[in-house]
Structure 1
Amino acid sequence: MRAKRYLSLALCAWMALAGGAVAQEATTTEDPGLSDVLTDLLNGGKGGGAATPGPDRRVPFGREEMQLSFAPLVKDTAAAVVNVYASKQVKVRSPFEGDPFFEQFFGRSGPRNRSSLGSGVLVDPSGIVVTNNHVVQDADQVKVALSDGREFTSKVLLKDETLDLAVLKIDSDKPFPTIAIGDSDALQVGDLVLAIGNPFGVGQTTTSGIVSALARTHIGVSDSGFFIQTDAAINPGNSGGALINMGGQLVGINTAIFSRSGGSIGIGFAIPSNMVRAFTEAAKGGAEFFERPFIGASFEPVTPQIAESLGMDHPAGALISSVDANGPAARAGLKPGDVVLAFNGAAIEHMEGLDYRLATQPVGGKATLSVLTKGEEKSVEVALERAPEGTSSNEVLLRGRSPFAGAKVAELSPRLAQRLRVATDTKGVAIVGIDGGSPAAGFGFQPGDIVREVNGETVDTAAKLKQLAEEDTRWWRFTVERDGRIMRQMLRY
């Protein structure tokens, strides 16, 4: 009798997976214990026939549920994911160049094209494409190819190395297919996502996965410290492609992978769509560089020791290290030693999180900060202003017989510091441009370098640096700061 009952049970389970309607009929047979046993089996085989508490999980019922697919979602979005081809002419020097004997056999070296391949996402029907900066960086020509075979030469509207984002523009008489930009703050760990791009140049590819983590920092691909981590397979060529949610909205721009072999091992990173939206709006508005709101305060991480001294349960937030006396933070009553715990209601877990939240806000608005001050938490409203230009930001072209000849310099202001991608509270004289073929270019100076000292004298103004650079001497000793590193050089020129 027991064998007969379980034979009926097995048949019933098979019919449930095959038809649904037949299964419903089978579970209403005259055998009073059959439905209880089937329920027990579908709930993990535990005794008692009662469903275990927890999420509503079950095996698929019916053929329709077993045939669920991402295909309709891909069909609606894939046309807006494009291929991005960037090329740059570089001169390759032959080891035989300058030797008349070998040149007659091997010839002179000439320029060659260096190309890179990536992906991009159409986010506006007028032809606005978002991709990664590293895909188009230093390119002489950037082409965009759509999935229908059309190709367009694009114009770079805006790019930012620190965010690793770039916005391109292509033109056509007809509107382009697009993907709507979603709210990346609505993502939760475990949400299903799709990654669409062109890995290894094999053609458009879609992979699926989940959101593995949020707000990842220090992954080494850019200065931005707020990434979505996913296990959807991302490979070289996927850079700039779309990470979409189950609503068909763009929630991230695929940027990097963690890999020792060059292929996907299930650890990929994407720039959140809220940052993409802010960057795209700046590009559409004609911005020369991506401008972050200025509040006139500097921050540092909250270490376990600092958290303990402030009576905090665990390290979190961003510690205010200095405040500009004339800035918005000072006017709001913020002081060094205060800890920012939340920004417009979003918890700040680390200093990079605050930088991200600030960068996604428009200049001219206001933000509400939750701040821990003197052991008490309070709410503070801070104005988000444009970084001040300063009083001595005029550019000066250096001349004379010095290693600095051909460099354009200016005294740092918060606004200039933003443009050069250095901390807004940095002081000194910065190189803002280099004339091609000049001595400064030959010696390797770069825009963003901060000149600290020349021939034993401190450089504090552009006029001072101009005076020192025009001195008649062949020996040069100088100190330059680059990316937070101090470099000292001595040479005869």
Structure 2
Amino acid sequence: MLNSGDVMSPALTRAKTGPKSAQARGPRLTKATVSAIVSAAILSGGLASTPSYAQLAPETPSVETPFGRAPLSFADVIEKVKPSVVSISVVAGGKNVAGKTGKNGLPEGFPDIPEDSPFYDFFKNLPKEFRNAPQQQRPTQAQGSGFIISADGYVVTNNHVIDGANKIQVSFDDQEKLDAELVGTDPRTDIALLKIKANGKQFPAVKFAAKPARVGDWALAVGNPFGLGGTVTAGIVSALGRDIGSGPYDFLQIDAAVNKGNSGGPTFNLSGEVLGVNTAIFSPSGGNVGIAFAVPAVTATEVIDQLKKSGAVSRGWLGVKIQNVDEDTAAAVGLSEPKGALVNEITPNGPAMNSGLKVQDAIIAVNSEKIADSRDLARKIANYAPDTTVDVKVWRGNKEENVKIKLGKFPGSSDEIAKLEQGGGGPEDQTSTDLEQLGLKLAPVKNGEGVSIMEVDPESDAAEKGVKAGDVIIEVGGSSVAGAADVAEGVKKAKEMGRTAVMVYIKSADQRRVVALQLKKS
């Protein structure tokens, strides 16, 4: 907010008080010129008539909404939805923690007193009950946005807005503040559901859009950026299906200005329906650069329904690690196109452990639904309830196979997933074998499975795909290996089958992955 004493920007100052330059004055109009303009106006229908939107752009049809033709003004739709948008205030921390000793030997929080000071011994020799007394953490405050989805006070916001909160309040445009309690959260989609403590009070609510957004649709963001509640910005839906690295779910991309504090707020369409929940921005500086991301309405509604019922979201879990099938992988396993998800590890004690699914299987369909890539598989599996049995179609050994798997419940954290099996050791000695076809130098492994990679040709396909010295090759072409001869045999078989690449199962530290390595031409 600008106060009377604030200094305006140079551009605004010049526009208001700048000198009357020749550029500012512009060309002078003679009486003859004015007369000609007036005559032309009279001939075309008069100066008083103002061209309509349709007259200005007859080739662009207008869009009818409950608020008239778009995009003449957003005022009507904002007037309708704004009372349902709230600001979220959160207080976190403030708990007692055990007292600690600082680097200078004094209780943590005491000044850095030199050891030769007469006060040093006094503070250092404080009784134990003073030295180790619980200390009060300073509470932290945060702000975000949210919106009401039911008259009885359910509020949608982001999980990261209320994470760790001790106290949550919602604020309305009329400055009314009400306490709210947490119903449930879903970190994977960054959705949180709150309930206002209102003793039967009714609230204005908005609803989610039934139709999915399209690229080019208007997008109106309402929220609480930088604590400035009730802020409205406008833009369009810039893209669909964005992957922002937070699981298998896709996000909307919008160019309406979204900043810190907009998190959890809604993006509306011109009918006043919620297209998505604003959750993240892309910005090198931390401010708006015209790229923001929102959880689509269809995803948000599925999550909210489960949070209302149980306070948590249950998702199906296959218990495998997967990767995309790229062109080299497709060539190595004999697929006609790079589609599907390749299994590179099966989680011990997971749902797929004893199902018959194998490492290097390419999953190409689930319950007859084709799989495009690894994210598509993760999303489809997550949409099934735990304990659902699914029919998984895989590509294995140049033909299709079907495996039935009873899904488990997706673990809430990585700690709930069994640790991956580890094994193998360093190379037994420096005796190595060159495998020119792959650009690798191999050596036996001590007390473990597979064959160790001693060197990688920096010009090879293996180097380009991140294979490095110290990695261990466990399988080649689906067959286990115990030495360099087995790797060479796997390469030979791939060439005899007319393949231009071979599947190699590699262990790197505690991670395992499948890599399709191109074969060098003889």
Fold shared, TM-score > 0.5 on shorter chain: yes
Aligned pairs for 1:64-79 within 5 A: 68-79=72-83
2:267 aligns to what?
243
Question: Looking at CA atoms only, which structure, 1 or 2, has the larger radius of gyration?
Answer: 2
Aligned pairs for 1:204-215 within 5 A: 204-215=230-241
2:60 aligns to what?
57
Contact 1:143–1:151 under 8 Å retained in 2: yes
Question: What secondary structure sits across from 1:419 in the alignment?
Answer: coil
1:402 aligns to what?
none
Matched, 1:188 2:181: no
Contact 2:276–2:297 under 8 Å retained in 1: yes
Aligned pairs for 1:339-378 within 5 A: 339-340=363-364, 349-363=372-386
Contact 2:394–2:403 under 8 Å retained in 1: no
Q: Shift in Å at residue 307 of structure 1?
A: 3.4
Cα deviation digits, residues 461-490 of structure 1 (max 9, x gap):
xxxxxxxxxxxxxxxxxxxxxxx9979xxx
Contact 1:87–1:114 under 8 Å retained in 2: yes
Q: Shift in Å at residue 239 of structure 1?
A: 0.5
CA distance in 2 between counterparts of 1:267 and 1:305 reads: 33
CA distance in 2 between counterparts of 1:141 and 1:166 reads: 15
Query: Which of the residues 87, 90, 95 maps onto 1:83?
Result: 87
Question: What secondary structure sits across from 2:259 in the alignment?
Answer: coil
AA matched with 2:72: L
Q: Shift in Å at residue 200 of structure 1?
A: 0.5
1:115 aligns to what?
141
Sort the Cα spacing of 1:9 and 1:136 in 2 relative to 1 into closer, same or farther, 3 A.
same
Give unmatched runs, 5+ long, in structure 2.
1-35, 98-107, 124-129, 422-507, 512-522
Q: Shift in Å at residue 279 of structure 1?
A: 2.0
Question: What secondary structure sits across from 1:112 in the alignment?
Answer: coil
1:177 aligns to what?
204
Question: What secondary structure sits across from 2:93 in the alignment?
Answer: strand
2:411 aligns to what?
418
Query: Which of the residues 88, 91, 111 maps onto 1:96?
Result: 111
CA distance in 2 between counterparts of 1:377 and 1:11 reads: 76
CA distance in 1 between counterparts of 2:70 and 2:186 reads: 45
CA distance in 1 between counterparts of 2:295 and 2:274 reads: 11
1:159 aligns to what?
185
TM superposition score normalised by structure 1: 0.59
Q: Shift in Å at residue 360 of structure 1?
A: 4.2
AA matched with 2:180: S
Sort the Cα spacing of 1:265 and 1:10 in 2 relative to 1 into closer, same or farther, 3 A.
farther
CA distance in 2 between counterparts of 1:203 and 1:179 reads: 18
CA distance in 2 between counterparts of 1:183 and 1:370 reads: 32
Aligned pairs for 1:258-297 within 5 A: 258-287=282-311, 289-295=312-318, 297=320
CA distance in 1 between counterparts of 2:359 and 2:213 reads: 33
Question: What secondary structure sits across from 1:236 in the alignment?
Answer: coil
AA matched with 2:176: R
Sort the Cα spacing of 1:337 and 1:95 in 2 relative to 1 into closer, same or farther, 3 A.
same
CA distance in 2 between counterparts of 1:57 and 1:111 reads: 60
Contact 1:297–1:320 under 8 Å retained in 2: yes
Contact 2:151–2:204 under 8 Å retained in 1: yes
Query: Which of the residues 18, 26, 30 maps onto 2:50?
Result: 18
Q: Shift in Å at residue 144 of structure 1?
A: 1.7
Identify which range, 122-131 or 253-262, moves more after superposition. 122-131
CA distance in 2 between counterparts of 1:127 and 1:338 reads: 47
Question: What secondary structure sits across from 2:257 in the alignment?
Answer: coil
Q: Shift in Å at residue 193 of structure 1?
A: 1.6
Question: What secondary structure sits across from 1:135 in the alignment?
Answer: helix
CA distance in 1 between counterparts of 2:88 and 2:289 reads: 24
CA distance in 1 between counterparts of 2:382 and 2:417 reads: 13
Sort the Cα spacing of 1:13 and 1:250 in 2 relative to 1 into closer, same or farther, 3 A.
farther
Matched, 1:319 2:322: no
Matched, 1:337 2:361: yes
Sort the Cα spacing of 1:360 and 1:148 in 2 relative to 1 into closer, same or farther, 3 A.
farther
Contact 2:148–2:204 under 8 Å retained in 1: yes
Contact 1:226–1:356 under 8 Å retained in 2: no
CA distance in 1 between counterparts of 2:393 and 2:417 reads: 23
AA matched with 1:188: R
Q: Shift in Å at residue 12 of structure 1?
A: 3.6
Question: What secondary structure sits across from 1:270 in the alignment?
Answer: strand
Question: What secondary structure sits across from 2:80 in the alignment?
Answer: helix
AA matched with 2:229: G
Q: CA RMSD in A?
A: 4.9
Q: Shift in Å at residue 133 of structure 1?
A: 1.6
Q: Shift in Å at residue 116 of structure 1?
A: 0.6
Contact 1:291–1:418 under 8 Å retained in 2: no
Contact 1:252–1:271 under 8 Å retained in 2: yes
Cα deviation digits, residues 229-250 of structure 1 (max 9, x gap):
1111110000111122233222
TM superposition score normalised by structure 2: 0.56
Sort the Cα spacing of 1:79 and 1:304 in 2 relative to 1 into closer, same or farther, 3 A.
farther
CA distance in 1 between counterparts of 2:222 and 2:397 reads: 49
1:32 aligns to what?
none
Sort the Cα spacing of 1:421 and 1:17 in 2 relative to 1 into closer, same or farther, 3 A.
farther
CA distance in 2 between counterparts of 1:370 and 1:246 reads: 43
CA distance in 2 between counterparts of 1:307 and 1:177 reads: 54
CA distance in 2 between counterparts of 1:355 and 1:98 reads: 57
CA distance in 2 between counterparts of 1:318 and 1:225 reads: 16
Query: Which of the residues 254, 257, 260 maps onto 2:281?
Result: 257
CA distance in 1 between counterparts of 2:267 and 2:84 reads: 12
2:498 aligns to what?
none
Q: Shift in Å at residue 180 of structure 1?
A: 1.5
Cα deviation digits, residues 203-250 of structure 1 (max 9, x gap):
111212222222222x35x44552211111110000111122233222
1:203 aligns to what?
229
Contact 1:317–1:342 under 8 Å retained in 2: no
Question: What secondary structure sits across from 1:418 in the alignment?
Answer: coil
Identify which range, 77-86 or 159-168, moves more after superposition. 159-168
Contact 1:227–1:271 under 8 Å retained in 2: yes
Question: What secondary structure sits across from 1:181 in the alignment?
Answer: coil
Larger RCO, structures 1/2 (Cα 8 Å, 6+ apart): 2
CA distance in 2 between counterparts of 1:120 and 1:381 reads: 44
CA distance in 2 between counterparts of 1:216 and 1:279 reads: 18
1:440 aligns to what?
none
Contact 1:317–1:348 under 8 Å retained in 2: yes
Sort the Cα spacing of 1:177 and 1:42 in 2 relative to 1 into closer, same or farther, 3 A.
closer
Paired residues in the alignment total 362
CA distance in 2 between counterparts of 1:343 and 1:264 reads: 43
Contact 2:186–2:303 under 8 Å retained in 1: no
